C-alpha cells in the first residue's frame, strides 16, 4: 500500500515538532514544507518551498497547518480549494467568522479536516475521561484548570485566551461531554503587548457543572493542571507529567443530630494510576492519518474547533464588557 503524501506549513517551534513526527510516521511520507525562512535547522529531508501553491504542486494528500493563527483562514481555504485534507493547529482561526468559513469550505469539498487540540491525546486526560464516563466520580461538581508559565516570544498575533485558554476550553468540554452555557472573565495585560496575557474565567456547563480557568504568560512556574471534583472525590491530571491521581472522599459519620443532614467530605485514600504514556503529538498524527485513510478515528473536527473559538470569543467579550456572556447551544442538524 502506497504511503500518504503529507506536507507541512510552518517551521516554528510547533512546526518543527510536527516535522519530526511526520518524518517518522508509519504510512506517511513528508514530501514538502512551506516556510519563507527555509530550513534553519538543516535537518529536514524534505524540500522547503516558499508558497503553499508550491507545496500543492508537489502533490499532497494532506497538510499540517502550523503557521500563525492569523494565516489559518487564507491557507486553509487554499488547501480546501485544491482538494487537500488539513490538520490545522489550534485555535482553528482568530475569529468565529474565519473559523466558520473554514468549516464550510472543507465540508463543501468533502475533505477530512481536523484541529490540533493536542490535550485530547494526553494520557492523563484520556484516562480521566474514560473514568468519568464510567461514573467513577459520581456527579461532577466542578472542573478547575491552571495553565501558566513564561511568555512564549513566538506568539505575536493572539493573546493568552486564544493561544492557551482554548486548550482548557476544549479539554473541559471533551472530558465532561458537556457544552459551555455561560462564561464570565477578567483579563489583564502586563507585558506591554497588544493582547491580554492573563485571564481568569468562571463558567457553567450544560449540566450545571462549574468551571474555573486560570491562564497566564506571566509566571516563572510552568503549570498544567486539571482538577475535577465530584460526589466521590476528585481527579487531578497533570498534563506536563501525564500523571492522574484520585483523591477519594471518605464519608463523614456524625452522631450530632443537627449536622446529620450535612453531606460532608473527609480525606480518603489517594491513588496514582499507572497509565501508558505515549507522546500526545504522535497519537494525534496517527489518528489523523487513519481518518485520511478512511478509517474510523476520533479526530477533533472543525466544528468542534469552531465551538472552542466561539467560547473563547465569549470569554474575550465578557472581559471587555464586564458582563456574563450566555453561549447558545450548538445547532443540531
pLDDT for 333: 46
Q: Quick check: 240 pLDDT over 80?
A: yes
**Dihedral sign for Cα atoms in the order 139, 284, 88, 150:** positive
Q: Which residues contact 87 (CB under 8 A, 6 or more apart)?
A: 62, 63, 64, 65, 113, 114, 115, 116, 284, 285, 288, 299
Contact between 83 and 76 under an 8 Å Cβ cutoff? The reply is: no
Confidence band (pLDDT; 50, 70, 90) for 258? low
DSSP assignment of 277-308? ---HHHHHHHHHHHHHTT------BHHHHHHH
pLDDT for 208: 97
Write down the mean pLDDT value for the chain: 93
Q: Quick check: 193 pLDDT over 90?
A: no
d(CA 70, CA 92): 10
pLDDT for 314: 98
Compute the average pLDDT of residues 32-53. Answer: 90
Could you tell me which residues are beta bridge partners of residue 89?
Answer: 116
For the chain, the first-to-last Cα distance in angstroms comes to 36
Q: Quick check: 179 pLDDT over 80?
A: yes
127: three-class secondary structure by DSSP: helix
Identify the DSSP state of 248: E
| pLDDT digit string, tens, across residues 303-326 | 999 999 999 999 999 999 999 999
| pLDDT digit string, tens, across residues 113-149 | 999 999 999 999 999 999 999 999 999 999 999 999 9
b/e for 197-219, b at 16 or more Cβ within 10 A?
A: bbbbbebbbeeebebbbbbbbee
User: Please, what's the largest Cα pairwise distance for the chain?
Assistant: 78
Cell numbers that stand for 3 in this block: 504511503
Cell numbers that stand for 140 in this block: 461532577
Compute the average pLDDT of residues 3-21. Answer: 96
pLDDT for 43: 80
Q: Quick check: 41 pLDDT over 90?
A: no
Q: What is the pTM of this model?
A: 0.92
Amino acid at each position: 500500500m502506497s504511503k500518504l503524501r503529507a506536507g507541512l506549513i510552518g517551521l516554528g517551534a510547533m512546526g518543527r515538532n510536527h516535522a519530526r513526527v511526520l518524518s517518522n510516521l508509519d504510512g506517511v511520507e513528508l514530501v514538502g514544507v512551506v516556510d519563507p525562512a527555509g530550513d534553519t535547522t538543516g535537518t529536514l529531508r524534505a524540500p522547503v518551498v516558499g508558497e503553499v501553491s508550491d507545496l500543492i504542486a508537489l502533490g499532497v494528500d494532506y497538510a499540517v497547518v502550523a503557521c500563525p493563527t492569523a494565516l489559518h483562514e487564507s491557507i486553509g481555504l487554499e488547501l480546501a480549494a485544491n482538494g487537500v485534507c488539513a490538520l490545522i493547529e489550534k485555535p482553528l482561526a482568530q475569529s468565529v467568522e474565519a473559523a466558520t468559513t473554514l468549516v464550510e469550505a472543507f465540508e463543501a469539498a468533502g475533505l477530512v479536516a481536523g484541529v490540533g487540540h493536542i490535550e485530547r491525546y494526553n494520557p492523563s486526560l484520556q484516562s480521566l475521561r474514560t473514568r468519568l464516563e464510567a461514573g467513577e466520580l459520581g456527579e461532577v461538581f466542578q472542573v478547575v484548570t491552571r495553565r501558566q508559565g513564561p511568555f512564549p516570544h513566538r506568539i505575536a498575533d493572539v493573546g493568552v485566551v486564544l493561544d492557551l485558554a482554548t486548550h482548557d476550553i476544549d479539554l473541559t468540554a471533551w472530558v465532561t461531554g458537556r457544552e459551555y452555557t455561560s462564561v464570565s472573565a477578567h483579563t489583564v495585560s502586563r507585558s506591554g503587548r497588544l493582547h491580554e496575557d492573563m485571564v481568569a474565567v468562571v463558567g457553567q456547563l450544560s449540566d450545571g457543572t462549574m468551571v474555573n480557568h486560570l491562564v497566564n504568560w506571566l509566571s516563572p512556574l510552568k503549570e498544567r493542571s486539571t482538577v475535577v471534583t465530584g460526589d466521590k472525590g476528585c481527579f487531578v491530571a497533570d498534563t506536563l507529567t501525564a500523571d492522574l491521581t484520585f483523591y477519594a472522599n471518605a464519608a463523614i459519620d456524625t452522631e450530632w443530630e443537627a449536622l446529620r443532614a450535612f453531606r460532608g467530605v473527609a480525606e480518603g485514600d489517594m491513588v496514582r494510576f499507572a497509565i501508558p504514556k505515549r507522546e500526545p503529538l504522535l497519537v494525534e498524527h496517527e489518528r489523523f492519518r487513519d481518518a485520511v485513510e478512511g478509517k474510523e478515528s476520533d479526530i477533533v473536527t472543525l466544528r468542534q474547533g469552531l465551538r472552542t473559538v466561539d467560547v473563547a470569543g465569549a470569554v474575550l467579550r465578557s472581559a471587555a464588557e464586564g458582563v456574563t456572556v450566555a453561549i447558545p447551544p450548538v445547532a443540531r442538524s
